[in-house]
Amino acid sequence: MSSPARSVEEFNLCIPISGSEYIWASLEVPADATGLIVFAHGSGSSRHSPRNRFVARVLARERLGSLLVDLLSPGEAVRDEQTAELRFDIPLLTRRLVIATRWARANKDLAGLPFGYFGASTGAAAALIAAAEIPEEVRAIVSRGGRPDLAGGALGKVRTPTLLIVGGNDSVVIDLNRKAMREMHCEREMVLV
């Protein structure tokens, strides 16, 4: 049974990515947090996603903090709204997720917490690749409606336990997730909802 709602304060912050460029993030950490979940949004979504904010609230009741990260800079987000080209730039999304993870690890208030990734859509591919690149930083991955197939050759390098959640009526994404699972050598499971 879930714990009662905890008092959680939200902080909006900028994470530097290079020079004067930055990405926005929202940080919510209960005082008694036992871990931090870093959200990797995809396909034109942002830290304002109602679905991911709902998940963050549920996690807070379970004593897990959330770092909801916009993987595109403000200028890139505007460009992507017009062209939709950056939301599928998996190497770019992965670099930004790694930067956000390292930023969080360097934060003295978060440094001692175990981290997990919650990836949606193309953000799931970025989460899997980032976990393969920095396995010491990530204890678990959850993909919601994700595109793990876009992680390509990194799938075989992922050692982090992974849960793939897919809509039961989304036959295309189910097939893509099943194919990706065959490439993975870590503990993994797919759940249809």
| CA atoms within 13 A of residue 129's CA, in its CB half-sphere | 23
pLDDT at 3: 47
CATH code for the domain in which residue 183 is found: 3.40.50.1820
pTM of the model: 0.91
Q: Do 183 and 150 touch, CB atoms closer than 8 A?
A: no
For residue 4, is it within any domain? no
For residue 3, is it within any domain? no
For residue 79, is it within any domain? yes
Assess whether pLDDT exceeds 50 at residue 129: yes
pLDDT averaged over the chain? 91
Note the pLDDT tens digit of each residue in 13-31: 999 998 899 999 999 999 9
Nearest 5 degrees, angle CA 163-CA 126-CA 101?
95
Domain range for 124? 10-192
The three-state (H, E, C) secondary structure of the chain, written as one string: CCCCCCCCCEEEEEEEEECCEEEEEEEECCCCCCEEEEEECCCCCCCCCHHHHHHHHHHHHCCEEEEEECCCCHHHHHHHHHHCCHHHCHHHHHHHHHHHHHHHHHCCCCCCCCEEEEEECHHHHHHHHHHHHCHHHEEEEEEECCCHHHHHHHHHHCCCCEEEEECCCCHHHHHHHHHHHHHCCCCEEEEEC
**What's the pLDDT band for 1 if we cut at 50, 70, 90?**
very low
Domain count, the chain: 1
Note the pLDDT tens digit of each residue in 39-81: 998 766 678 678 888 999 999 999 999 999 999 999 998 888 8
